[in-house]
């Protein structure tokens, strides 16, 4: 991994804070509803960064399995917001081409397309587009659920377009 | 509630008229109107960006969420009521970030001609917070027409309604919803899993893991006799509905209980029509036997 990438990662404020303040108590890992499914627990991820294992962190399943429920954040004795920390790690993984979380990346891409085109999203359309891209068989299995939504007047395939929406074209 | 015209309403994509939680949004607006509060939807609002857009571009994500604050400010809105906890987090976090981050504030001035001083008076409130602490239980009690008799309601908060920025209730063991629902006569069912995460968006990417979590959450209510489960989050509601459908194929009727928004139960109690609240006929039949009309003094 190049020095520039490493530096950017370490300068990200939520990552920087975690590396600096974490006391390695493991409260985050014990609180996490998804830590059973992770390859490294959240505590371990912080320790890995401290030990320069940037590649392993950005390649990990862990960073894509956080559901940002913030239980770790409210319990952390060092007051670190690990939810934000995980979002930041995802951003660095995405911008540096780590594409081992294909499903999540497809979801983000579909989501971004809606925002950039309309300024709003339609969950129904998002779910349909995403399922067709990733798992068409599952999309077919969803038909009864979709029909039920339709029966209850909930399956709108329309998205309203936001007027005067220049923000997505802003250079940041 | 003197300054009614300063209350803005931000539905967010889920609770808007094309969203899957349309009835959460509609029932929220209906009960607030019924209680005499005029809330006006922020015109031309856009998606808050949720946690997803921050993965793509952090600064742009704040500009995206912040556009709604700028629109509210232009209409002199000081309080924004939001039914979706995730939207609440995006908007609150953006306000917080503008205060702390000079560079971001500069960008806001550049793009929107609006700085932190302009936005500093805006308060973002989840609708549970607003109903309990701004409208107040007295006002609700005055307006209750129907009481539910012996309806056992599982109260499921989900994770983001009280975490990490909200300060109106305990982040792990909140009681706001129970207090609001106490006016309706229902018996609320406690669960140690009431603020356990439903898995959120991971339902799409990691269905197998998420289903296991939701099964446990639903069991924690059903084992204690819950006849319906109420939520205050569009994503919790959707995930529970999706899981219910899958679990019913596996276990039949055990999971066949209505998943409702707390505003629907409250609305029925205030005497609003089930169809105006988006309560399906099927769900209404399951809970309506428990409604008794309370004679007004």
Residue A119: give the domain boundaries. Answer: 102-161
Is pLDDT above 80 for A169?
no
CATH 3.40.50.11810 fits B137-293, yes or no: yes
Is position A29 within any domain? yes
* Weakest mean pLDDT among A147-156, B88-97, B195-204, B238-247: A147-156
Check residue B249 and give its pLDDT.
87
Window A:47-86, CB contacts with B under 8 Å: 64-65, 67-71, 73-74, 81, 83
Residue reference for tokens 């493991």: A26
Q: Is residue A167 part of a domain?
A: no
Asked if A42 and A84 sit in the same domain, the reply is: yes
Percent of chain A at pLDDT > 90 equals: 63
Nearest to B13 among A73, A121, A130 (CB): A121
Closest alpha carbon to A70 in A100, A27, A105: A27
Segment A20-68, tens digit of pLDDT? 999 999 999 999 999 999 999 999 999 999 999 999 999 999 999 999 9
Report d(CA A10, CA A26) in Å as an integer. 21
Mean pLDDT of chain B: 93
Average pLDDT, chain A: 92
Residue carrying structure tokens 């339709």? A150
d(CA B80, CA B70): 12
Answer yes or no: is A166 within a domain. Answer: no
Angle (deg, nearest 10), helices B85-100 and B58-74 = 100
Q: Are A88 and A12 members of one domain?
A: yes
Q: Does residue A78 fall inside a structural domain?
A: yes
| Chain B residue with minimum CA distance to A84 | B51
Cβ-defined contact of B20 to A90 (cutoff 8 Å): no
List CB contacts (< 8 A) between B59 and chain A: 172
pLDDT of A157 higher than 90: no
> What is the mean predicted confidence (pLDDT) over B212-221?
96
CA atoms of A11 and A17, how far apart (whole Å): 9
Residue A169 lies inside a defined structural domain of this protein? no
- Domain identity same for A109 and A77: no
Question: Which range has the worst mean pLDDT, A90-99, B151-160, B264-273?
Answer: A90-99
Split at pLDDT 50, 70, 90, the class of B290 is confident
CATH code assigned to B4-128: 1.20.1050.140
Q: Are residues A61 and A90 located together in one domain of the fold?
A: yes
Give the lowest-confidence range in A4-18, A128-142, B101-115, B218-232. A128-142
DSSP labels, A85-130 = HHHHHHHHHHHTT----HHHHHHHHHHHHHHHHHSS--HHHHHHHH
Closest partner residue to A162 (CB to CB) among B46, B52, B204 is B46
Residue A168 lies in a domain: no
Closest residue to A73, CB basis, from B56, B60, B163 = B163
pLDDT band at B296 (very low <50, low <70, confident <90, very high): low
pLDDT at site A166: 77
**Would the pLDDT of B189 be above 50?**
yes
For residue B2, what pLDDT is reported? 44
**Chain B residues whose beta carbon lies within 8 Å of the beta carbon of residue A39:** none
Per-domain residue ranges for chain B? 4-128, 137-293
Lookup result for tokens 């205050």: B232
* Residue A170 forms contact with B (CB below 8 Å): yes
Q: What is the pLDDT, as a whole number, of residue B5?
A: 55
Residues of chain A above pLDDT 70, percent: 100
Together in a domain, A155 and A111? yes
Q: A55, A73, A95 — which closes off a domain? A: A95
Res. B297: pLDDT tops 60: no
Same domain, A77 and A139: no
> Mean per-residue pLDDT for B21-50?
96
pLDDT at site B203: 92
Query: Given this model, what pLDDT does residue A152 score?
Result: 87
* DSSP letters spanning B157-209: --STTTSSS--SS-SSS--HHHHHHGGGTPEEEP-TTTTS---TTHHHH-HHH
A7 with A90, same domain: the answer is yes
- Closest to A144 (Cα-Cα) out of B117, B200, B216, B245: B245
Residue B4 has what pLDDT?
46
CA–CA dist A37, A17 (Å, integer): 25
Q: What is the mean pLDDT of residues B264-285?
A: 95
Residues A75 and A39 in one domain: yes
Query: Which pLDDT score is estimated for B174?
Result: 98
CB–CB of B193/B154 below 8 Å?
Answer: no
Please report whether residue A148 resides in a domain.
yes
Helix (H) or strand (E) holding A138: helix A136-141
B141-163 mean pLDDT: 95
User: Are A46 and A67 in the same domain?
Assistant: yes
Among the residue ranges A154-168, B102-116, B157-171, the one predicted with the least confidence is: A154-168
For residues A14 and A91, state if they share a domain: yes
> How many CB atoms are located within 10 Å of the residue A106 CB?
16
The tokens 């950005």 sit on which residue? A58
Task: Mention every residue, 6+ apart, whose C-beta is less than 8 A from residue B168.
Answer: B125, B126, B128, B129, B132, B133, B162, B176
**More confident position, B48 or A145:** B48
Calculate how close chain A gets to B111, using CA atoms only, in Å: 8
Q: Are residues A88 and A110 in the same domain?
A: no
Q: Is A4 exposed, middle or buried (0-12, 13-18, 19+ CB in 10 A)?
A: exposed
What is the pLDDT, as a whole number, of residue A151?
86
Confidence of residue A73 (pLDDT cuts 50, 70, 90): very high
Instruction: Please check whether residues A77 and A144 belong to one and the same domain.
Output: no
Of B272, B276, B297, nearest to B35 (Cα)? B272
The more confident residue out of A129 and B258 is B258
Pairing of strands B228-231, B152-155: parallel
The CATH number given to whatever domain includes residue A19 is: 1.10.1060.10
CA angle B64, B70, B71 (to 5 degrees): 100
Structural domains in chain A (count): 2
Mean pLDDT score, A69-96:
97
Size of interface A-B (CB pairs under 8 A): 145
Q: Is A170 inside any structural domain?
A: no
Q: How far apart are CA B250 and CA B271, in angstroms?
A: 37
């Amino acid at each position: 991994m190049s020095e520039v990438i490493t530096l950017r990662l370490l300068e990200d404020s939520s990552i920087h804070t975690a590396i600096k303040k974490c006391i390695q108590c493991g409260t985050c890992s014990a609180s996490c509803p998804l830590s059973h499914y992770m390859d490294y627990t959240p505590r371990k991820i912080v320790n890995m960064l401290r030990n320069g294992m940037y590649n392993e962190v950005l390649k990990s399943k862990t960073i894509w399995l956080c559901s940002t429920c913030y239980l770790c954040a409210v319990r952390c004795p060092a007051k670190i917001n690990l939810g934000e920390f995980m979002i930041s790690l995802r951003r660095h993984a995405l911008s540096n081409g780590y594409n081992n979380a294909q499903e999540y990346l497809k979801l983000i891409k579909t989501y971004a397309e809606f925002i950039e085109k309309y300024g709003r999203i339609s969950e129904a359309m998002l779910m349909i587009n995403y399922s067709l891209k990733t798992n068409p068989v599952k999309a077919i299995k969803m038909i009864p659920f979709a029909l039920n939504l339709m029966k209850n007047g909930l399956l709108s395939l329309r998205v309203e377009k936001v007027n005067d929406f220049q923000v997505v074209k802003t250079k940041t | 509630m003197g300054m009614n015209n300063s209350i803005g309403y931000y539905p967010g994509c889920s609770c808007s008229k094309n969203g899957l939680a349309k009835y959460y949004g509609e029932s929220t607006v209906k009960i607030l109107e019924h209680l005499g509060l005029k809330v006006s939807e922020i015109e031309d609002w856009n998606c808050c960006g949720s946690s997803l857009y921050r993965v793509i571009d952090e600064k742009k994500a704040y500009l995206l969420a912040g556009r709604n604050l700028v629109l509210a400010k232009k209409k002199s809105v000081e309080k924004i009521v939001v039914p979706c906890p995730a939207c609440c987090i995006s908007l609150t976090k953006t306000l917080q970030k503008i205060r702390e981050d000079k560079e971001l504030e500069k960008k806001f001035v550049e793009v929107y001609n609006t700085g932190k001083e302009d936005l500093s008076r805006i308060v973002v409130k989840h609708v549970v917070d607003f109903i309990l602490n701004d409208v107040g239980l007295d006002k609700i009690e005055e307006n209750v027409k129907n009481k539910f008799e012996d309806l056992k309601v599982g109260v499921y908060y989900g994770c983001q309604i009280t975490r990490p920025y909200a300060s109106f209730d305990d982040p792990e063991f909140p009681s706001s919803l129970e207090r609001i629902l106490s006016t309706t006569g229902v018996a609320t069912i406690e669960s140690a899993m009431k603020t356990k995460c439903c898995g959120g968006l991971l339902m799409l990417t990691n269905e197998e893991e998420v289903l296991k979590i939701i099964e446990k959450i639903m069991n924690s209510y059903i084992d204690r006799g819950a006849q319906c489960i109420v939520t205050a989050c569009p994503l919790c509601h959707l995930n529970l509905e999706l899981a219910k459908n899958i679990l019913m194929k596996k276990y039949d009727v055990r999971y066949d209980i209505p998943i409702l928004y707390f505003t629907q139960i409250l609305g029925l109690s205030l005497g609003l029509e089930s169809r105006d609240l988006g309560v399906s006929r099927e769900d209404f039949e399951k809970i309506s036997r428990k409604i008794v009309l309370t004679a007004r003094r």
